[in-house]
Structure 1
Amino acid sequence: MTVPTYDQLMLPLLRLAGARLANDLPTAEKLLGDEFGLTLDERTTMLPSGQQTALRNRTGWASFYLMKAGLLAKPKRGYFEITERGREVLKAPPASIDKTFLASFPEFREFLMGSPGDSSENVTQVLAQSTAPDQVTPDEALQGAYQQLRSELASQVLERLLQVSPEFFEQIVVELLVAMGYGGSRRDAGERIGRSGDGGIDGIIKEDRLGLDVIYIQAKRWQGTVGRPEIQKFVGALHGQRARKGVFITTSAFSAEARDYVSHIDVKVVLLDGIQIASLMIDHGVGVTPVATYVVKRLDSDYFEEI
């Protein structure tokens, strides 16, 4: 079982309200999870933003659309209740409730079009445009589009990383580490990395601006998978320097054996592959530039509280 879509939740939610079993989202979310037999993992599945569970988000949008159609009402902040229209619907309920069903009510049509008096043809067009095949909520559609754009950008960044020279790749690593807060300044970091070449170590960078500890680095612009032997050589070089921390950075990927190896050794070694490097570059604005910013706002309910 997967998390139900918001339209799959609308009729069950209306029934819960009609039976007075739920009049707030937390209660409704729990009861709907029980009704659909969702596992703990399914109940706690988060949206891409990590700010809200998919079940809570879809329950919220289901209640929102039911309110816009006049089937639910909002007696006070954070609560809902069934209306007389909602009770009439439950007397002869449809097989399911979706936007097409809700469009039979004038208030919902006005909500869709943004103004009263629009033709049924225009309503049909808006329904076709606003109802995705998988019935995602607006939040999910927005976050899904962002994740897709980010994934495509990461692929482009990684492709360019594979084309640069080894020396320029080391320079990019410096830029990234400094942007992440390591190394103090770019000049300081640049003097410490890419020049050591000492027993499998490409450079050293300060862990913090005060230089209280150092991190040893190996940065390789490779295309083949990095296996355990290469990591063992790096760890051996760390032992030779009496170093406690190291980062192995590559444009390719690490084998399962390599990742398992670093999880069972005393020194702390972090493995960063090409996808992770591209993602960090996006997060910290290295090699990418913003082209548009969208601010998503929500209603400030406290603002409208009269004292």
Structure 2
Amino acid sequence: MTNRIQWVRQRLVSRGLMYSPAHGVWAITEKGIKRVAEADGQGPGPHPAPEFPDLVQLYEDYEEAFEQKLLQSLLDLTATEFERFSKELLRVYGFVDLQVTGRTGDGGIDGHGMLRVGLATMNVAFQCKRWQDKVGASEINAFRGAIQGEFEQGIFFTTSDFTKAAKELSIKKGAVPVILLNGKSIVKLMMEKQFGVRKRPLELYFEDVRSVLEDNQ
């Protein structure tokens, strides 16, 4: 609920309907007062015809809010659930023989599997961090050290993000490459494959009265 209120408030600020005169204080602008008066039927003069919303803008606003909701759903998972979720996401993208290790003291390897690339098969390990703080270079180094020599690639999942140093370290000459997937990337992959989400088609109507007259001249 707090995130939704913050999102609505930010939308009002961006449209010039609200402003913050001091920290923690929010007030309505003159434009906002006029908008409220018009909505209540108290505005001056005849009311103009209602404006239809910009569908593209509405869609972009909805998509942004939906992505935040998806990310929060990932944060609500337990650490074990996030590991299982990551395993199933890899399965959707063609990985096979996937297993969650469920062990401690394994150098940070939470699971592993295989991916066929052409005629070759690549052994891949993955690690999952259901964090809010950013993942740093030390975590990438530790993960790479655990998989070096046994796996050809690593995948690091996190619900948060990676520091600049961690991103620079993910691809290192002569070392096992580590693919970094932050919260936003995971959400994008979910939507791309409709994994953990459902899509519903909507029917939209558009005014086209003139075409009737033109077609029957």
SS of the equivalent of 1:129 reads: coil
**Separation of aligned partners in 1, 2:193 and 2:160:** 20
SS of the equivalent of 2:125 reads: strand
Counterpart position of 1:193: 100
After TM superposition, give the deviation of residue 144 of structure 1 in Å.
3.7
Q: Which has the larger radius of gyration?
A: 1
Gaps of 5+ in 2: 1-45, 206-217
Gaps of 5+ in 1: 1-120, 133-140, 297-307
SS of the equivalent of 2:190 reads: helix
**Separation of aligned partners in 1, 2:120 and 2:197:** 28
Alignment RMSD, CA only?
Answer: 2.8
Alignment of 1:52-201 (within 5 A): 125=49, 129=51, 141-183=54-96, 188-189=97-98, 192-195=99-102, 198-201=106-109
After TM superposition, give the deviation of residue 146 of structure 1 in Å.
2.7
Once the two structures are superposed, residues 117-173 of structure 1 have per-residue CA deviations (whole angstroms, 9 ceiling, x without a partner) of: xxxx99x62xx625x7xxxxxxxx444433322221111011111111111111111
Q: Could you state the TM-score of these two structures normalised by the residue count of structure 2?
A: 0.63
Once the two structures are superposed, residues 154-213 of structure 1 have per-residue CA deviations (whole angstroms, 9 ceiling, x without a partner) of: 110111111111111111112211122222xxxx42xx2244653221111221399822
CA contact (8 A) 1:170 1:194 kept: no
**Separation of aligned partners in 1, 2:202 and 2:51:** 24
**Separation of aligned partners in 1, 2:55 and 2:113:** 39
Aligned residue pairs: how many?
157
Cα 1:294–1:258 change in 2 (3 A) is farther
SS of the equivalent of 1:291 reads: coil
Identity %: 31
CA contact (8 A) 1:176 1:284 kept: no
Alignment of 1:250-269 (within 5 A): 250-266=158-174, 267-269=176-178
**Separation of aligned partners in 2, 1:178 and 1:164:** 19
**Separation of aligned partners in 2, 1:226 and 1:168:** 19
Q: 1:219 aligns with which of 116, 128, 136?
A: 128
After TM superposition, give the deviation of residue 277 of structure 1 in Å.
0.8
